Amino acid sequence: MSLKDRAYESNPVLDKLPQHLRQYIKPQNYEDYSPIDQAVWRYVMRKNLDYLSKVADASYVGGLKKTGISIDHIPNMYGMNRILQEIGWAAVAVDGFIPPAAFMEFQAYNVLVIASDIRQLENIEYTPAPDIIHEGAGHAPIIANPEYAEYLRRFGEIGCKAISSAKDFELYEAVRHLSIIKEAEGTSQEAIEKAEKQVEHLQQNMGAPSEMALIRNLHWWTVEYGLIGTVENPKIYGAGLLSSIGESTWCLTDQVEKIPYTIEAAHTSFDITKPQPQLFVTPNFAFLSQVLEDFANTMALRKGGLDGIQKLIDSKDLGTLELSTGLQISGNFDKVIAHEGKPVYVQTSGPTALAFREKELIGHGVEKHAEGFGTPIGKLKGINLAIEDMGPRDLKAYDIFEGKTISLEFEGDIKLTGKIITGTRNLQGKILLVTFEHCKVTHKKKVIFESNSGTYSMAVGQAVVSAFNGPADLNSFDLVSHELSETPSSGQKTPQQQRLEVLYRRIRDWREGKDQTISRRKIFEELKEDFPEDWLLSIELYELAKKDNNIALSEALLDHLERVKQQNPKVGHLIDDGLELVDQSTIKA
C-alpha cells in the first residue's frame, strides 16, 4: 500500500481541509518510534519544563496540559487531536519541510502541522529539520492562548496569499534537502557541508525579497523565534526557542540583541543553520496581529495594480488577479502591457480559470481556457464612464449590446473589434464578461489576438485591485503533485543499533513498571562494554538508582559518565544538565 493510500484519523476540523493540503499528510506510525527516540523526547521535555517554566510565556506550561503533550511519551497525534478539538484546532503529521504557502494555509484552517520524525540523539539540542519536538512541544502549547491562536490562523490566511519568487522555490528545495540528509543515518559530513554551502549561497543571492520571503521573516521572528514582554525582561513564546534546549538558554543572554518588534522585522533575514544574533520582543500577542495587518497592507493582495501583476509574472507560478468588478483570473501570468503606470492588457499562458468570489464561472474553467487568457483592462478612450459602471441604457447607447459588431478603443492604444454574443453578470447585475466572435485585439496596430472561429471573452474591470498566490477557486486546478517520502524502516538498523535499543527498552519498561525482573547492574555493564560513548541511557539508569537509593550503582554511573565527558567534552553540559534534573527531582520527592 502506497503512502498516499494510507488512512489517517480525521475529525471535524480536518474534514474541511482541501485535497491539495491533504497530499502532505503522512501517517504518524507511532510504533516506528524507537526506545531511544522516546528517551530523547523525555530528556528534552524534562529539561525544557524545568527551565521554561521560569522563562517562557505563562501560556506555555498550561498549554502543555491543554494540548495533551506528555513529558514522558512522544505525543500520539490522535490523542492530541481529541484535546485540540476543544479549542477548535487539529494536528496532522506531515512530510518534513512542506512549501511555505502550504504550511501557512494549514494554519488558516486551524490545523497545526507536525513533522512526525524526531531528531537523532547527536542532534538533541537543535536540528534545522522540522521534528516532533520542535512542532509538538514548541508550537502546540502556545495555541492554547486564544489571542495567539487567532494570530496564527490569520497569519496563515494572509501568508498563503503572499507571492513567491522563482528563487524562493529553489531555496525551499535546498533547505528541504539539507534537513533530510542531516537527520538521515550515515550521511557523510562532506555531504552535509556541501548542502549547507548551497543553502548559504542561495540565501546570499536571492535578489530583492519577495512577499513570501518578507512574510516568512515575520513568521520566523514571531512564531519561531519570538520573545514577549519588555526588552529588559522578555519571555519566550517562539517554537524554535521552546524546542531548543541550547538556544532557549542562549537567547536570553546579553550576547543576543533584543529589539522591539515592528514591521521592520520583515526586512531582517535569518540563517536557519546558526543561532540568531538578535531577537524581536512584542509587548503582547495582540500587537503581533496589528503588525501583521500593517504588513498585509503592503502586499499585492491589497494593493493590486501593475506592481502586483509584475510580481505574479516574476513568480512563474500559479496566481490570481482580481479586477474591480470582482472577476478573478487565475493562471500563470507571463505578459502585461502598461500605460502611464497602469496595466491595460494582461495575458496568461497555459490553463486558466475565471471566477467570481472564489467560485469558478460556469463555462470558464481550464477546459475553456486551456491555452491561456488575455484581456484588456481599464477604461475606454475618451469615455469617463467605465464599462462596469454602465447600466443597460448606457451599454446600448455605446452599442455594447448583443448582436452588435463594434470597435472598442481602450486607453493605452488597446483596440478590440468583434461581434458581441452575450454578457455575463453577477448577482448584483454588474457585467463581468463580454463574449465576442470574429474578434481581433491589437496594441498600436500589432495584433495580439485574432480568431475567426470560436469565441473570445473580454474581462470587464477598470483596475486590478488584488493579486495573490494560488487560484481563486481551489477546485479549478489539479494541485496534487507531492510525493510522500518513505520513512526509513527499523529493519535498516544495524545489529549493534538494535542491541542498544533493546537496552533502552528494558530500562523504559522498568521505569514504567512493565518488567522489573531484569538486572539494571547487568544492563549497565553491557552498556559500558559495548556502547561506551552512549550517555543518555546512563542518566536514565542513574535516575532509577537514585530513586531506589542504590548508592553503589549511582556512584558507578557517575564515574562512568565522568569518563564519557572526558572523552567527548561536547556532551559534557548535556550530561551535567541531566544529572542535575535527576538530583533536583530526588530532593523534591
The burial of 191, by beta-carbon neighbours within 10 Å (0-12 exposed, 13-18 middle, 19 or more buried), is given as middle
Q: What is the pLDDT along the chain (589 residues), one digit of tens a residue?
A: 333 444 567 788 999 999 999 999 988 889 989 999 999 999 988 988 888 889 999 999 888 878 878 889 998 888 888 888 888 999 898 876 788 899 999 999 999 988 888 888 888 877 666 788 887 778 888 988 999 999 999 999 999 999 998 788 888 788 878 877 876 767 888 988 898 898 888 877 777 889 999 999 999 999 999 999 999 999 999 988 888 777 888 899 999 999 999 999 999 988 776 788 999 999 999 999 999 999 999 999 999 999 999 999 999 999 999 999 999 999 999 999 999 999 999 999 999 999 999 999 999 999 999 999 999 999 999 998 999 999 888 999 999 999 999 999 999 999 999 999 999 998 888 899 999 999 999 999 899 999 888 899 999 999 999 999 999 999 999 998 877 765 544 447 889 999 999 999 999 999 998 988 889 999 999 999 999 999 999 999 999 999 999 999 999 999 999 999 999 999 999 999 999 999 887 655 4
Alpha-carbon distance 369 to 364, whole Å? 7
Q: Does residue 411 lie within any of the structural domains?
A: yes
Could you give phi then psi for residue 258, rounded to 5 degrees?
A: -105, 125
Domain match, 246 and 354 both: no
Domain match, 346 and 220 both: no
pLDDT at res. 292: 98
Q: Does residue 41 lie within any of the structural domains?
A: yes
pLDDT at res. 268: 94
The amino acid at 205: N
pLDDT at res. 589: 45
Cell numbers for 264, please give them: 521592520
List the CATH number of the domain containing 52.
Answer: 1.10.800.10
Domain match, 251 and 334 both: no
Domain match, 262 and 367 both: no
Alpha-carbon distance 247 to 6, whole Å? 37
Identify the CA nearest to 508 among candidates 494, 493, 523, 495.
523
Which residue's C-alpha cell is 471566477? 355
Q: In sequence order, what are the residues at sequence separation of 6 or more whose Cβ sits closer than 8 angstroms to the Cβ of residue 329?
A: 320, 321, 322, 323, 346, 348, 352, 354, 373, 375, 459
Partners of 409 in beta bridges: 415
List the CATH number of the domain containing 399.
Answer: 2.30.30.100
Which residue's C-alpha cell is 503581533? 288
Domain match, 468 and 572 both: no
Largest CA distance in the chain: 103
| Residue where a domain stops, chosen among 476, 506, 529 | 476
What is the tally of structural domains in the chain?
3
DSSP state of 359: E
Domain match, 447 and 536 both: no
Identify the CA nearest to 212 among candidates 131, 266, 151.
266
Q: Does residue 451 lie within any of the structural domains?
A: yes
Q: Does residue 327 lie within any of the structural domains?
A: yes
- Inter-residue contact 160 to 470 (CB < 8 Å): yes
Domain match, 454 and 550 both: no
| Residue where a domain stops, chosen among 279, 294, 309 | 294
Q: Does residue 257 lie within any of the structural domains?
A: yes
pLDDT at res. 530: 94
| Residue where a domain stops, chosen among 447, 476, 505 | 476
- pTM equals 0.86
Domain match, 68 and 194 both: yes
Q: Does residue 76 lie within any of the structural domains?
A: yes
Could you give phi then psi for residue 280, rounded to 5 degrees?
A: -105, 140
Q: Does residue 229 lie within any of the structural domains?
A: yes
Domain match, 524 and 427 both: no
Q: Which domain holds residue 509?
A: 490-588
Total residue count of the chain as it appears in this document: 589
Alpha-carbon distance 20 to 482, whole Å? 9
Domain match, 252 and 322 both: no
Domain match, 335 and 283 both: no
Q: Does residue 309 lie within any of the structural domains?
A: no
Domain match, 529 and 468 both: no
pLDDT at res. 580: 92
Identify the CA nearest to 441 among candidates 305, 337, 342, 311.
337
